[in-house]
A and B are shown apart, each in its own frame.
Chain A
Amino acid sequence: MKDTHFVSGAAHTDRIHDSAIKHVTGRADYTDDIGQPEGTLHAYLGVSTVAHARLNGIDLTDVLAFPGVVGVLTADDVPGVNDISPTGQNDEPVFPTDRIEFHGQPLFAVVAETRDAARRAAELARIDCDVLPHALDPIAAQEAGYPHVTAPLKLERGDVDTALSGARNRITGRMTVGGQDHMYLEGQIAFAMPGEDDDIVVHCSTQHPSEAQHMVAHVLGVPSNAVVVNVRRMGGGFGGKESQMNLFCAVAAMAAKKWNRAVKIRPDRDQDMTATGKRHDFVIDYDVAFDDAGRIEAVGGTFAARCGYSADLSGPVTDRALFHADNAYFYPHVRLTSRPMKTNTVSNTAFRGFGGPQGVIAAERIIEEIAYATGQDPLDVRKANFYSGEGRTLTPYHQAVEDNILDRLVMELEEGAAYRQRRNDIVAFNDTSPVLKKGIALTPVKFGISFTATWYNQAGALVHVYNDGSIHLNHGGTEMGQGLNTKVAQVVAEAFQVDFERIKITKTTTEKVPNTSATAASSGTDLNGMAALDAVEQIKSRLIAFAADHWGVAPERVRFAANRVHVGDEALTFDAFIKKAYLARVQLSAAGFYKTPKIHWERARGQGRPFYYYAYGAACSEVTIDTLTGEYRVERTDILHDVGRSLNPALDKGQVEGAFIQGMGWLTTEELWWDDAGRLRTHAPSTYKIPLASDRPRVFNVNLADWSENRELTIKRSKAVGEPPFMLGISVFEALSMAVASVADYRECPRLDAPATPERVLMAVARLRNGG
């Protein structure tokens, strides 16, 4: 035992990721690396090649005859309920029975001795169907009279119609915002092992083990207690493994039970990208009224989303788009409506930000419109509209913004990045540079933290202290790279005052913590950190009671510090103390629990306090575009981001950097492209281009607002970090827009659609040069 005053890996320190050594040595095991038992079978999905059709039947003769094939699974083989819809809408079958709803939809599964055989055989099915007309995007869907996949939401405050119609300045416009593939490096995968009776164990890569467990039970027609779902780590998730793993878990489990052999299913990248959902594309119609100084008077907005053929998480995603359509700005009168459109595309799902980014970008477009209309620097328009002051704190959903720190944060970034000076220099540069043009933008983000489904804001943890003093930590959150396990272990190390190394982080399993929520909505540390702390506090209070009694001291004189327990004037090593506690029959294990206080939400009225608190940030990006080709480069980005009192500044900075680049990718080179037949043609990294190292800003300064502290009693006063910085990527998009605007002397809002590929940039340049 080290004899220092500190413990390693305490809260608020730069502890490395708990798996870092395993990552760099290749010894971190992902689901596909788990050793397979003798006789393991492999499943592969057979998919549709039309976007919409009446399904008459599937002839699987050739599939079954293929060497190595053991059998197939179709809708008829579902022993329980043929449904994996995460919100219980019963609109998402494992395999469809009578209707094909998108190109690439899984129709059946082949099970074979090898993955290669299953994959090859899956191509041999003959699908008998009558093709129907399809609608791929939300506008086409509206025109074709397609329904909403789930009930739309309306947020309203004030008298928006009067304010809009009476306005001196009013602009309406439309913005199209593309979706995004998660492109987690590890694809979807599930590996099921049958047990006795109803039992089944599924190893998989899901952000939501409890849901996978319930879905497998539902599909198998067995109670949840028969199903165990395990996740040690994911090779990235980003929302793409929140509900999307249900299908793979269900198929693997069905096959494992049917043949009583272990079954693994791992789609190739193309199938992963075509058969699983993505970020929702949106078409946003906005209508804004503002005064001559650029202050917003009223905003109307309709947010139509490409939801795909089923609801999946489209309800809460489109809700969150509305919740963030104000970004950081006060709208005196407002009406926002969502239109979650059914389309003949894969069912879209969660993705970092969960609809929030699409809302925020609409707000930033509105700011741009006002800036160009009033001839101001967009930053001035932004500042003029920040939530602040009397009567200017109420959001469109009637929650007051009470913790706003954007005035200070933006001011610090503006100065730190020398925004004004550089903007002037850029305007001067653009005047003399005929081909290359620059742009700069400083954009803020305010992001609401909590699941809007209030009941999700709960978590559990399980902590054991073994009698040798080693600690076993388990909680309901899943590790997908974000460092959740590391942070929660830091909380435990800090609370027990023991070195981090003493704590064993174990795989997430439905056996240890039941009824967990998805590791999503940036909530992982907030919820699970608190639950783990609760468990530790329970054990500690038993230990303190024991020590007070055993040594005859007041409980206040029992103190945990630096790998020791001080009892009165005596100090014992943690190990020795625990051994004594064990011999005295103290229970050294506890289940912790946490639920977020204060929040409530009435969807029907569009009112409540859906968010416990807000996280803030801002980014300033400078770009150069080539007006001959539309190519561009990000020259510099400065970020100042708020994570409250960081539990681990190094990991939090990593989240900010990674989220920014991912957000930038969403708005620049990542383009989803369907052909007329409804087939996604950008379905692998060869055609779908996420940022590379060479795409990151030439100069990249990322800082945490180290003065910030969560006003609410969150874990160690930290704030969630996963999603909010994603929206900092919008600064790149806005900077591109300014560079484009320069070709028409900044008189016109370029109205760039996203993603701003080189093509969109060039075409916008051409449009503005030709007079709009």
Chain B
Amino acid sequence: MTYRTEIRFILNGTDVSVPDVAASQTLLDFLRLNRRLTGTKEGCAEGDCGACTVLVGRLTGDGLVYAPVNACIRFLASVDGCHVVTVEHLSGPDGRLHPVQQAMIDHHGSQCGFCTPGFVMSLYALWMQTPEPTAAQVETALQGNLCRCTGYEPIVRAAVAVSRYGTPAADHLNTERAAMTARLKRLQSDARVVSGPADNLSILPASVDDLAACLLTYPDATIVAGATDVGLWVTKFLRNIGPAIFTGHLDRLKTIAMEGDVLTIGAGASYTDCQDALSEHLPHLTGYWDRIAGWQVRNMGTVGGNIANGSPIGDTPPVLIALEAEIVLRRGDVRRTVALEDFFIEYGKQDRAAGEFVETIRIPIPSQNDRNAAYKISKRRDEDISSVAVGIQVTVAEGRITRSRIAFGGMAATPKRATAAEQALQGQVWSQAAFDAAAKALEQDFRPLSDWRASAAYRMLSAQNLLRRFYLEQDTATAAPVRLETA
């Protein structure tokens, strides 16, 4: 095993090598304080406003891929081997404004301008990926960007018009793609990176096996995948996360594949990484998926992290439990498989031993007779934490419900199945009455909390109504639309 102690990446056009990168060092502070690249702003330091949006380009199996991310909760160590692009890099060497910038100006897309660099970066990424987006695609791309001044209308108009100002093929990230790829390849190495002060160590394992090994050495280390939870521990709660073991660079932990009827997702796969496989195999999750966080967070955050953090309000556990998903935990070379619903023991406690990590999530693909749905309720439709989330899988044979799995988030101290409701459905004729009974039974299943997201009464009533929605939506006899998204 070879070791390296400095973090190496390319910042705009420049090779950067930083020795001694503490685990808690954020990319945003590095840009603003160390490099005085002040175009990237801090609006919240928690991944919610997008003022800090930068692009991170990474070599993947599909070549060099750029994605917008939140620099505020991105740790500097995690950009090792990447190309970081900030707003200062957009106009290119000739100093001419970039098509996205010109479109924003012409459409009066900025007022106070503080959010603007972040919007420009998100729109830049969108334009490279989808040069002629629809308004709906723009909205999805901008879920992670807040603007308090403009009301967004001019920004969306600008976004839709960008292609009139230039094509991505001519953009310097594309024209210099081969050269950049070569430069990034030169940064790659088989070494484990261990950087930073002893009490705030950053560790980048050389491989998944090395990750297992590192965790044996540092069983209490903080695993950092996308840092969309851990980042906030640092920026908001000032917690010490060292030693931290980073996994975002481990491609092997991001593998997504079908094994027979089981979809396997590597714990390190980001929400964005999963998108294609979901639309192919679990289409009922696609709309739901787009409502998890915003684009930047979806590019970083992982399903593995969403599960491992054990939150009662994470969006993936309820829908994965309904699908009867399992997770594979690994410690050293020892692996064990746990039903996802059993992983959550109680609030703040999961079935994970020291030194163990989540390696894969295994999701059986539903059969023809299974009716599936995933619903999320939040105060604001996009980029908001659920007040209630639910995954529902109901098997119907000859008009009767033969099996059901219903799992809720936001209703208890852990993501939890509604066993009384499931029981109420068992063997019943597929009917409104059956679902009314299941809704009633939810009162035995849960005693939800009141907090700033929702009151207990609302949580209960809307959870009950989501079962009714499921019936109405799945029932072929229902004529009128029952959901805003499908209206």
Contact = CB atoms under 8 A, between A and B. Distances in A.
Interface of A: 16-17, 19-30, 32-33, 35, 119-120, 123, 182-187, 233-238, 268-270, 432-436, 480-483, 624, 626, 628-633, 650-651, 653-654, 657-662, 669, 671, 673, 675, 681-682, 684-687, 689-696, 700, 702, 757-759, 762-763, 766
B112 A693 contact: no
A692 B146 contact: yes
Nearest to B144: A692
Contacts of B400: none
Q: Which of A269, A480, A693 has the most CB of B within 10 A?
A: A693
Contacts of B315: none
A29 B149 contact: no
Contacts of A187: 43
B151 A696 contact: yes
Given A185-B49, A662-B148, A759 B454 contact: yes
A686 B46 contact: yes
Contact of B111 (A24, A119, A483): A483
A95 to B, nearest CB: 22
A27 B39 contact: yes
Given A626-B484, A700-B153, 5 more contacts: A16-B106, A184-B112, A236-B111, A268-B235, A658-B149
10 contacts: A28-B113, A268-B236, A269-B43, A436-B480, A628-B468, A629-B469, A631-B381, A632-B484, A650-B108, A692-B145
B91 interface: yes
Contacts of B138: 693
Interface string B356-384: 00000000000000000000010111111
B83 interface: no
B44 A694 contact: no
Interface in B35-72: 36-49, 51
A671 B455 CA distance: 13
Given A186-B112, A657-B150, A689 B480 contact: no
Interface string B209-242: 0000000000000000000000000011010000
Nearest to A700: B153
A185 B114 contact: yes
A680 to B, nearest CB: 9
A482 B150 CA distance: 10
Contact of A759 (B46, B113, B455, B468): B455
Contact of A629 (B108, B113, B382, B462): B462
A238 B236 contact: no
B33 to A, nearest CB: 9
B146 A658 contact: no
B87 interface: yes
B323 to A, nearest CB: 22
Contacts of A120: 238
A657 B154 CA distance: 9
**Dominant SS at the B interface?**
loop
Contacts of A757: 379
Interface string B106-120: 101111111111001
Given A270-B236, A436-B482, A682-B452, A654 B88 contact: no
A696 B153 contact: yes
Contacts of B353: none
B45 A766 contact: no
A759 B387 CA distance: 10
B472 A435 contact: yes
Given A19-B113, A687-B452, A689-B380, A184 B148 contact: yes
B325 interface: no
A425 B287 CA distance: 29
B97 A480 contact: no
Interface in B417-472: 451-455, 457-458, 461-462, 465-466, 468-469, 472
A28 B51 CA distance: 14
A669 B34 CA distance: 38
A23 B43 contact: no
A20 B110 CA distance: 6
A633 B116 CA distance: 26
B86 A26 contact: yes
A509 B83 CA distance: 41
Contacts of B146: 183, 185, 685, 690, 692
B105 interface: yes
B38 A29 contact: yes
A596 B385 CA distance: 49
B114 A186 contact: yes
A235 B41 contact: yes
A692 B152 contact: yes
Given A24-B116, A654-B111, A681 B469 contact: no
Interface residues of B, number: 87
Contacts of B108: 16-17, 20, 650-651, 653-654
Contacts of A35: 36
Interface in B109-159: 109-117, 120, 138-140, 142-143, 145-156
Contacts of A434: 480, 482
B88 A26 contact: yes
A695 B484 CA distance: 13
A348 to B, nearest CB: 18
Contacts of A184: 112, 114, 148
Contacts of A22: 113
Contacts of A671: 379, 452
Contacts of A669: 379-380
A689 B116 CA distance: 19
A628 B39 contact: no
A699 to B, nearest CB: 10
Contacts of B32: 32
Nearest to B43: A185
A700 B104 CA distance: 19
B474 to A, nearest CB: 14
Contacts of A24: 97, 100-101, 104-105, 109-110, 113, 116-117, 120
Nearest to B479: A432
Contact of B155 (A237, A435, A483, A693): A693
A236 B484 contact: no
Contact of A692 (B88, B97, B383): B383
Given A23-B110, A235-B114, A269-B44, A681 B451 contact: yes
Contacts of A19: 110, 113
**Ranked 7 nearest A-B pairs via Cβ:** A26-B39, A481-B112, A235-B114, A23-B113, A661-B151, A481-B111, A685-B48
Contacts of A631: 377, 381, 484
Contacts of A235: 41, 43, 112-115
B90 interface: yes
A564 B431 CA distance: 82
Nearest to A273: B44
Nearest to B484: A633
A586 B157 CA distance: 49
B336 interface: no
A237 B115 CA distance: 13
Contact of A481 (B51, B97, B143, B149): B149
B484 A759 contact: no
Contact of A185 (B115, B139, B380): B115
B101 A25 contact: yes
Given A235-B113, A681-B451, A693 B156 contact: yes
Nearest to A689: B380
A21 B484 contact: no
Interface in B250-272: none
A763 B97 contact: no
B186 interface: no
B170 interface: no
B319 to A, nearest CB: 17
A626 B461 CA distance: 13
A658 B111 CA distance: 9
Contacts of A183: 146, 148
A390 B461 CA distance: 52
A119 to B, nearest CB: 7
A661 B147 CA distance: 10
